[in-house]
């Protein structure tokens, strides 16, 4: 029997509190990068493990020393430096293109001006850059030292949200950013929004696995239609 919490915002808040009881609140930010460095990190991280994208990021910093030098370097050298990433042959020219565009638009390589903008305007500005979607813009706002209020949605977060019935999987990860963010209380602080991203992601990594979610160990089982169906099926299938 699935417990019902009819109002979707109330449901999401209940999920947030239950997962925060497990994974914590006021979660420490894992980066303290300036907004431009965070954007570079986000571009490297697409479909790449944190370990590998982190290595690629460090390689760029150690080999070139500045984003200006990365922008102006031969593309094959940038490509070699970011080899730990997936698709370095696509990411190297894209990173240089974005660095050149920012230089043209801003007269230099800094995104510090974003801190003076409204978050929605800052995200719009970022998403006009090639290859920058809602996930990357949210990462810049939330993870960088801007510490702004935006909800990044990674594949773990998205999977947990769809299994819980919060959103339809057909919506896709890009659109899910705004839908999921709008379901959170308007008075959530930037830290609470970051916590929400973190607890949903951690739950996907530790319990709600892509293959074989560990529903019997899940604190959301009584409110999760997918978990209930899986557990009932396992019970029925048991001889």
C-alpha–C-alpha distance, residues 136 and 72, integer Å: 23
Residue number, 157 or 163, with CB nearest to ligand SF4: 163
Structure tokens at 232: 């009932």
Does residue 196 belong to the site contacting ligand SF4 (CB under 6 A)?
A: no
C-alpha–C-alpha distance, residues 2 and 24, integer Å: 25
Does residue 200 belong to the site contacting ligand SF4 (CB under 6 A)?
A: no
Binding residue for ligand SF4 (CB under 6 A) from 122, 141, 164, 201? 164
φ, ψ of residue 34 to 5 degrees: the values are -70, 160
Structure tokens at 117: 């903008």
Residue number, 62 or 237, with CB nearest to ligand SF4: 237
- Residue 136 CB, shortest distance to ligand SF4, in Å, is 26
Task: Please tell me the count of residues contacting ligand SF4 according to CB under 6 A.
Answer: 14
Does residue 43 belong to the site contacting ligand SF4 (CB under 6 A)?
A: no
DSSP secondary structure string, 216-228?
Answer: GG-TTGGG-HHHH
Does residue 213 belong to the site contacting ligand SF4 (CB under 6 A)?
A: yes
Residue number, 189 or 232, with CB nearest to ligand SF4: 232
C-alpha–C-alpha distance, residues 2 and 96, integer Å: 51
Q: CA distances (Å), 157 to each of 92, 115, 198, in order?
A: 28, 26, 8
Taking CB under 6 A as the binding criterion, the range among 88-96, 146-154, 157-165, 194-202 that sits at the site for ligand SF4 is 157-165
Residue number, 170 or 212, with CB nearest to ligand SF4: 212
Under 8 Å between Cβ of 50 and 90: no
Binding residue for ligand SF4 (CB under 6 A) from 78, 98, 161, 224? 224
Does residue 161 belong to the site contacting ligand SF4 (CB under 6 A)?
A: no
Does residue 19 belong to the site contacting ligand SF4 (CB under 6 A)?
A: no
Does residue 215 belong to the site contacting ligand SF4 (CB under 6 A)?
A: yes
C-alpha–C-alpha distance, residues 1 and 70, integer Å: 57
Residue number, 30 or 211, with CB nearest to ligand SF4: 211
Residue number, 36 or 200, with CB nearest to ligand SF4: 200
Short-list 111, 108, 99, CA closest to 73: 99
Q: CA distances (Å), 155 to each of 35, 38, 173, in order?
A: 23, 19, 8
Residue number, 118 or 222, with CB nearest to ligand SF4: 222
Q: What number of H helices and E strands is found in the chain?
A: 12, 0
- Residue 159 CB, shortest distance to ligand SF4, in Å, is 8
Q: Which residues bind ligand SF4 (CB under 6 A)?
A: 160, 163-164, 207-208, 213-215, 218, 220-221, 224, 226-227
């Amino acid at each position: 029997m699935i417990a019902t919490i009819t109002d979707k915002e109330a449901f999401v808040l209940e999920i947030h509190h239950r997962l925060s009881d497990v994974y914590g609140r006021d979660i420490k930010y894992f980066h303290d990068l300036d907004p431009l460095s965070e954007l570079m990190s986000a571009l490297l991280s697409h479909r790449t493990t944190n370990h590998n994208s982190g290595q690629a990021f460090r390689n760029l910093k150690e080999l070139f020393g500045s984003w200006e030098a990365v922008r102006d370097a031969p593309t094959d050298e940038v490509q070699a430096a970011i080899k730990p990433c997936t698709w370095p042959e696509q990411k190297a020219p894209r990173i240089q293109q974005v660095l050149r565009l920012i230089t043209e638009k801003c007269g230099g390589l800094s995104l510090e001006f974003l801190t003076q903008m409204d978050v929605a305007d800052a995200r719009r500005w970022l998403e006009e850059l090639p290859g920058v979607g809602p996930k990357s813009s949210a990462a810049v706002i939330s993870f960088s030292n801007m510490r702004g209020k935006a909800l990044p949605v990674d594949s773990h977060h998205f999977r947990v949200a769809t299994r819980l019935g919060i959103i339809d999987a057909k919506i896709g990860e890009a659109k899910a950013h705004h839908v999921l963010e709008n379901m959170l209380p308007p008075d959530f602080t930037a830290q609470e929004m970051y916590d929400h991203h973190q607890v949903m992601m951690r739950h996907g990594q530790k319990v709600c696995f892509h293959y074989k979610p560990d529903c019997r160990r899940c604190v959301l089982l009584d409110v999760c239609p997918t978990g209930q169906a899986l557990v009932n099926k396992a019970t029925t299938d048991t001889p």
